[in-house]
Chains A and B, each alone.
Chain A
């Protein structure tokens, strides 16, 4: 088995993107054929790799020296499973795209970036060290941007800008983390990370780089508090792209988090607690946002965020449970898998709705699914699965995750420790499960049972609403999901077990009975809460009667809940403002000439003052007595003169004079006034009128001119200096 196949897997889609782009200008269908055939080939190849991996025959390839720091790739159980899932999803969405984008624009660009992102995503899942993962991860971040911006309307552009900003910042945080981690551990290869980390004398040092890397991957996964881009970017992308963004690109983030949690900080309780808390917040916040949303794709996007929270809880529990984390590990991997397939089905179903109505608002699309059994069935499978209804696949993974929390609670109680917080966590888990059920019920009833207020007859008459190719894609995805769920012991358990070694976990000693009474009861609790939530929150609060007597979904999402608008953007503006002020300050600094600004100009000022001082003293000494006499005798004259000068003074004709500033003007006025007084006391043969305001203004202008000439005069002195030095050289040489 030639290992070169591994490098082909990411490289071929990337290289095929160029012919795909060029073909789209000539013939759209040919370009889509390229896209689909590449995806098909990748699916077959990765399926083959997965079959090999099931027999523990892994392919490894190291190619040092290419792409900056060398690439190393490996397809073991988990990675080849996810390669297969990714290829399958790309294949299905590619089959769905031609119809979805039939009336759209920029097919070439879409195909180009879809293929490029495909290659990069495969690259991340194949990578065998963090550098390789980072290289492909960054490519993926940037090439998926055009998906979000595809529609090019204001909402899409704004969401895309947020996406890009978070991608850049997350990538840089990760880079920083990698730069710190590599010298600490001496390696970034997945194989050697664990042993290197365990040999570290002080494990505390590992937290900072791990947190930075977590920020990078977590931003892509949609982890709280870096989730802000997700509920905005996923709905505005075309539906096939949303399916990939939700189903796979978030999993790339999870993949990275898994690497950190299972290779660098394996079985670390503090890290497990952190991920557990973040996971609980993410899943609750996501479910809450999904419950309040009245937009089909936005609900699904928020749901994605919530499900990522479930997965993070699983990873957290792996850390907490330590050696005995088989349930958590299985739950994590299976929930990843399920969520990928569920979101594939649901987003394509949403795409089918969009193809028919070109709207996503629940009020506009309600009733669209009536009399469309195929769409109904596919959506139902997805919805039941994500809600965790027994016999559907989501039930299995959620049960495993739930069990892992229960296991830890029991473990703590066994040790006699306080398990209150973990019991709370279990309740949050159960309630969030209920909320999942509630928002899926909301979508399901709105789409398939309620009647549209205006266009129900149009919708019912739409029989041929999907072309065969799209029908195949949607149906195929739903079918796979369905098959996985009915016999979990046969289908899901082996998949999970094949992936366990990646997480350094072992298969459980005895097989889990998914349909035991305890587990069914737990799920029943969750579903009951969901039903209650739907009946109260959705039916009574979200649905309101309109003036015309018809019911209507109302958007109740509080604005302050949007972290982006309430925190991140203001913060960014603040940072930009501070940075700008700082830069300006530094920029002005070189103009500061110590000699001139601190010696010459103050000296000039002092000289002017000193120059005037003897005059002042002279007048003072000589006329002090006269002054008193005059003042007291001619007080009235004085006041009259003062009035004449100030209040009743005629407006002066405008002259082209130096303007100066407020300070010189005030100073000048004071001097003018004093001089006026003196003038009245002294008899002049030829009265000299000195306008001090102008004098000061002129002085000010001169200072400003000098200020501008700073650099020139400084350099002039340096030039003289260098001439002197040249003479030194001549002297040296003569010697």
Chain B
């Protein structure tokens, strides 16, 4: 069934050119049907858990392409399977006046399968394969606008990703050569921890980290992400806040915890260098976000910063830290997609820059309210979502002790403060400031297909703010290596 969930949207997306939809409505029905069927197949397995390991085919005898769900995979697959139908619905409204919709939705749907493939991958080889596939599938989505800017952004994305994949590939070769198997196991593959090869393995890990770090937007490798925000908003919202970037983070979690052993890496340069970069990126991303006036680019920089929160947690190399990181992975996905979808609603009505948001609440009451809620959550105002994960991360860091974790806490607090300034102040200005233009009530309201995903996601956000136990218990279990 995992294979079905992965391959069905890929096949259905690839079949798109056969249909040649005349009407928007039939295309919409087709897309929604495919996406909903996939989610309906995937979600029971994600929620109930399944120990089955399904092999697609064998490359060599020791290198199968196989799928298996474990705790961490279930978390990532769960995020994707819940958010994809919602943002597909949003995309149907958002993209209705654009051209080339068949191509767009074809790639959009294929990408669902690919992302599920990453989440369900049972070994590093499978993960790498789907990871590469994702780069190729998302490229047309980034360049969909067709303008000079989007083509440049797309090329930049391609170059960065291919460069990163090359580095990741070296890591893969290291794993195959020294470890013999690429199969994931919690706590790493035991072969690594013994023998003379330790130093080599750490270097291999670092190379691998930088390879996957491109999609996780770690500091020197982040530059593609803000540029990629020229893509249509459903792409920025889902791919550049959830699927693509979280794949990078997920892959790093996989290599850190399931391939190379934390026991091998902890307390060495292979931990300190990535950790230092993450701490730096946390502050750097926020500073850039504060400087940026284009709303979508600002949110993209905010993503840069927040992705490093997750990595910071995972790289602490304690299960507590991993727990904090996973919590932030889920929470950030929910919060950031909310903000991006709102930004898309704004953008459709010509509000592109932060200063245009002044006094907007009369014109679009729903979107501004959701945006305000999202920014409060993003900052980590208790009891909203962000607070829980930031607290968990800080607690893990304090528990760990040492220079870098403490620097990380300071970075967390600085970044939370800056987040308040770059998100809360604009969203307050939508309410109290008078803009250049005086809007009539409800002047710019959007259709239900754009607004209902917003409302549903913000309700989910509120629900988990007040009853986080449902999630945190499972995350604690997954972070301790449960299936």
Contact = CB atoms under 8 A, between A and B. Distances in A.
Interface in B425-483: 425, 428, 432-434, 465-469
Interface in B409-437: 409-410, 413, 416-417, 420-421, 424-425, 428, 432-434
A139 B382 contact: yes
Given A725-B169, A725-B173, A733-B60, A580 B291 contact: yes
B170 to A, nearest CB: 7
B383 A135 contact: yes
A711 interface: yes
Contacts of B398: 179-180, 182-183
Contacts of A142: 376, 381
Interface stretch (B33-41, B97-105, B156-164): B156-164
Given A67-B466, A68-B383, A180-B398, A152 B163 contact: no
B424 A728 contact: no
Contacts of B343: none
Contact of B287 (A65, A146, A182, A583): A583
B349 to A, nearest CB: 23
B21 interface: no
Residue among A157, A169, A576, A725 with the highest chain B CB neighbour number at 10 A = A725
A182 B395 contact: yes
Contacts of B170: 725
Interface in A54-101: 65-69
A339 to B, nearest CB: 28
Contacts of A164: 424-425, 428
A589 to B, nearest CB: 7
A539 to B, nearest CB: 41
A184 B33 CA distance: 54
Contacts of B380: 175
B288 interface: yes
Given A175-B416, A179-B409, A579-B287, A718 B381 contact: no
B130 interface: no
Contacts of B59: 733
Contacts of B291: 580, 583-584
A440 interface: no
A311 B136 CA distance: 66
B176 A725 contact: no
A182 B394 CA distance: 11
Nearest to A179: B394
A172 interface: yes
B232 to A, nearest CB: 24
A188 B388 CA distance: 16
B162 A719 contact: yes
Nearest to A145: B428
Nearest to B413: A176
B387 interface: yes
A587 interface: yes
Interface residues of B, number: 57
B347 interface: no
Contacts of A135: 382-383, 387
A712 interface: yes
Contacts of A732: 173, 176
A632 interface: no
B310 to A, nearest CB: 18
A134 interface: yes
B276 interface: no
Contacts of B420: 168, 172
A715 B162 CA distance: 8
A160 interface: yes
Contacts of A168: 379, 417, 420-421, 424
Contacts of A201: none
A718 B383 contact: no
A160 B432 CA distance: 10
Contacts of B169: 722, 725-726, 729
Contacts of B165: 722
Nearest to A724: B166
Contacts of A721: 166
Contacts of B351: none
A718 B382 contact: no
B290 interface: yes
A589 B291 CA distance: 17
A65 B382 contact: no
Contacts of A722: 162-163, 165-166, 169
B225 to A, nearest CB: 12
Contacts of A364: none
Contact of A179 (B163, B288, B395): B395
Contacts of A69: 388, 391
B391 A172 contact: no
A518 interface: no
B352 interface: no
Contacts of A648: none
A490 interface: no
A68 B387 contact: yes
B63 interface: yes
A138 B434 CA distance: 26
Nearest to B390: A175
A169 B166 CA distance: 44
Contact of A67 (B219, B383, B417): B383
Contacts of A647: none
A586 interface: yes
A721 B59 CA distance: 23
B30 interface: no
Interface in A705-735: 711-712, 714-716, 718-719, 721-722, 725-726, 728-729, 732-733
B388 A68 contact: yes
A19 B113 CA distance: 44
Contact of A172 (B290, B413, B466, B467): B413
B453 to A, nearest CB: 22
Nearest to A726: B169
B156 A711 contact: yes
B400 to A, nearest CB: 10
Interface string B92-126: 00000000000000000000000000000000000
Nearest to A717: B163
B173 A728 contact: yes
Contacts of A584: 291
Interface in B275-314: 284, 287-288, 290-291
Interface in A225-248: none
A590 B425 CA distance: 30
A179 B406 CA distance: 11
A161 B383 CA distance: 23
Residue among A134, A138, A580, A714 with the highest chain B CB neighbour number at 10 A = A138
B303 to A, nearest CB: 16
Contacts of A718: 159, 162-163, 166
A149 interface: yes
B469 A65 contact: yes
Nearest to B381: A138
A582 B414 CA distance: 15
Closest 6 pairs between A and B when the two form their complex, measured CB to CB: A715-B159, A67-B383, A722-B166, A65-B469, A135-B382, A718-B163
Given A68-B387, A590-B222, 19 more contacts: A65-B469, A68-B391, A68-B468, A135-B383, A135-B387, A149-B432, A168-B420, A172-B413, A175-B380, A176-B409, A182-B395, A576-B290, A579-B287, A584-B291, A711-B159, A712-B159, A714-B159, A714-B163, A732-B176
28 contacts: A65-B468, A68-B388, A134-B382, A135-B387, A138-B381, A139-B383, A142-B381, A164-B424, A168-B379, A168-B420, A168-B424, A176-B410, A179-B394, A179-B395, A180-B398, A182-B398, A576-B290, A579-B290, A590-B221, A711-B159, A715-B158, A715-B163, A719-B166, A722-B162, A722-B169, A725-B166, A729-B169, A733-B63
Interface of B: 59-60, 63, 155-156, 158-160, 162-163, 165-166, 169-170, 173, 176, 219-223, 284, 287-288, 290-291, 376, 379-383, 387-388, 391, 394-395, 398-399, 409-410, 413, 416-417, 420-421, 424-425, 428, 432-434, 465-469
